[in-house]
Structure 1
Amino acid sequence: MSSATPVVFIHGLWIHSDAWQNWFPVFEGAGYRPSAPGWPGDSETVDATRKNPLALAGQGIDDITASYQRFINGLAAKPIVIGHSFGGLIAQKLLANGGAVAAVGIDPGQIKGVKPVPLAQIRSGLPVLARPGNKKKAVSLTSKQFRYGFGNAIPESESNELFERWAIPGPGKPLFEASSANFKKNSPAAVDTRKSNRGPLLIIGGGKDHTVPEVVAKAAYKLYAGSGAVTDYKSFPDRGHSLVIDHGWREVADFTLGWLERQGL
């Protein structure tokens, strides 16, 4: 297994890294070596993270990116990075900065230059953005807020189950940074979308996603036009933001594996 290509999974806001556990045996079976380190401040378990939200407070996009780069620096080879939500934004930054051989951004958080801001996205971010003081805090969602932002395309009972199993507090800072990115010259949400000598990038969008509506994912994809590097897009029209952890996760995982195989990775 030491020669297997490493794959680093990166979670997004409000979901613990253990939620990637279903993906591990699938990727191991395909010959990869998966890992899923948490964000700085995350504890090893969901319960422990819920009990210590202060450890997450104040962590921003640059802090999270640097934490994953340090982890990558300890690997035997550059990995493939697969990120969901804000993890998808981090994955794009790592790829552009030379920290990965390829990246997959699933419902990726809004990077600088993306202009659409749908009402559904605004509503999903309100639990944090409605209070400026949340920039320095860690914020938890209610089950109702999780249902709107993550579980709107699945049965309510499944949404509630996912909430109880995987939901954790999330630092407010990344949301404030992403929402103001287009108004700041030097934003941590900026990604070099013109870089031509990077590895392949796949962006995946969910057609029913409220937290990162598909128009946002498509807008990110379009920013890479003309870079000359491989950039692909895949839509799952009937899926919401929970697509990597709900009952349909395997469809997304299988497509991702197929895409990696087509890249020769």
Structure 2
Amino acid sequence: MDGKHEYKGVAQWEIAEVERANASDATPVVFVHGLWLLPSSWDGWRKMFEDHGYVTLAPGWPDDPLTRQDAYANPSVFAGKDVQTVTDHYLAVISGLRKKPIVVGHSFGGLIVQKIADEGAAAATVAIDNAPIKGVLPLPLSALKSGFPVLKNPANKKKAIALTFEQFKYGWGNNLSEAENRHLYDTYHVPASGIPLFQAGFANFSFSKACAVDVKNPNRGPLLIISGTKDTTAPRAFTHGSYKKQLKNPEATEYVEVKDRGHSLVIDSGWPEVAEAALQFVKRFA
């Protein structure tokens, strides 16, 4: 990382985060959110990691609005953002850093951070309840049900889709109370691009490399995959399946299960337990 980049397509607020990181002697940690969230969903994680001596960045997907209010005012801004486009955006941000960062991602962000690591751009990687990398074969019924609001209509590939509260409860908060589900939905949920779900769902039936990772790449760096045992959106078949593929890598590859946690595990009241597992791994390897 040389700290020099043209920042094509990178927002001014993201450039400011890079400059803040470069002004610090601390190791940078880049957080990558998934579908139906904004970068602000990482605020608690950022404080925890900075309290432990890291400097953090939470860039958005291309054109991400800064607030939930803005997201609902112009939901079409999310449409058409595919996995590789988003990966390239994060790589553009990362290329401006003077130090190779740790990358932490959730859901499709968990897939994207593995693609970032595959580019040799990560000092260490944590993927949390990740969307499956290409070659992971099981597609559990719970994941199909969670993705059905998007996958039910091929036209959704080009649209931005919001979940209803009931759909959110099943796919994200199936282990939570009604009150906590409502709080999370009203605080964090935003529309999301439809195309990544189609790319992941049909990855093993197409020649597309959007979800592909070279699991033998010696430049990948250490990787931890964290799995919530009650996740219906990214069930164990996705996370452990990705882990088994990644074990072919010569670098350290580890897997941690967090009991009784659903897809909301990075934003619900139990997030500190998950963040602590990620932090301890990062401390050992970066």
Q: TM-score range by the shorter chain?
A: over 0.9
Give the superposition deviation at 1:215: 2.0
Q: Does 1:222 align with 2:255?
A: no
AA aligned to 1:174 is P
Give the superposition deviation at 1:197: 3.0
SS of the residue 2:61 aligns to = coil
- Which residue of the partner structure matches residue 210 of structure 1? 232
> Which of 89, 113, 123 matches 1:67?
89
Q: Deviations over 1:35-75 (max 9, x none)?
A: 11111121011110121111111110011001111111122
Give the superposition deviation at 1:138: 0.5
Q: Does 1:53 align with 2:51?
A: no
Matches within 5 A, 1:85-100: 85-100=107-122
Q: Deviations over 1:150-205 (max 9, x none)?
A: 00011121011100000011000111111111012232000111112321000011
- Which residue of the partner structure matches residue 172 of structure 1? 194
- Which residue of the partner structure matches residue 186 of structure 1? 208
Matches within 5 A, 1:33-182: 33-182=55-204
Give the superposition deviation at 1:15: 1.1
Q: Deviations over 1:208-250 (max 9, x none)?
A: 0000011210000000123211110000121000001001000
Cα distance in 2 for residues equivalent to 1:156 and 1:187 = 39
Cα distance in 2 for residues equivalent to 1:228 and 1:96 = 13
Q: Deviations over 1:119-143 (max 9, x none)?
A: 1000000000000000000000011
Question: Could you tell me whether the CA contact under 8 Å between 1:81 and 1:100 is conserved in 2?
Answer: yes
AA aligned to 1:104 is V
SS of the residue 2:125 aligns to = strand
TM-score (norm 1): 0.97
AA aligned to 1:32 is Y
Counting matched residue pairs gives 264
> Which of 278, 281, 285 matches 1:256?
278
Cα distance in 2 for residues equivalent to 1:200 and 1:111 = 17
Cα distance in 2 for residues equivalent to 1:151 and 1:259 = 26
Question: Could you tell me whether the CA contact under 8 Å between 2:126 and 2:223 is conserved in 1?
Answer: yes
AA aligned to 1:131 is N
AA aligned to 2:244 is K
SS of the residue 2:241 aligns to = helix
Q: Mind listing any 5+ residue stretches in structure 1 that lack a counterpart?
A: none
- Which residue of the partner structure matches residue 259 of structure 2? 237
Question: Could you tell me whether the CA contact under 8 Å between 1:92 and 1:105 is conserved in 2?
Answer: yes
Runs of 4+ that moved beyond 2 A: none
**How high is the sequence identity, in percent, across the aligned residues?**
48
Cα distance in 1 for residues equivalent to 2:32 and 2:228 = 18
AA aligned to 1:240 is G
- Which residue of the partner structure matches residue 17 of structure 1? 39
Question: Could you tell me whether the CA contact under 8 Å between 2:120 and 2:219 is conserved in 1?
Answer: no
Question: Could you tell me whether the CA contact under 8 Å between 1:177 and 1:187 is conserved in 2?
Answer: no
Cα distance in 2 for residues equivalent to 1:244 and 1:217 = 15
Cα distance in 2 for residues equivalent to 1:165 and 1:211 = 20
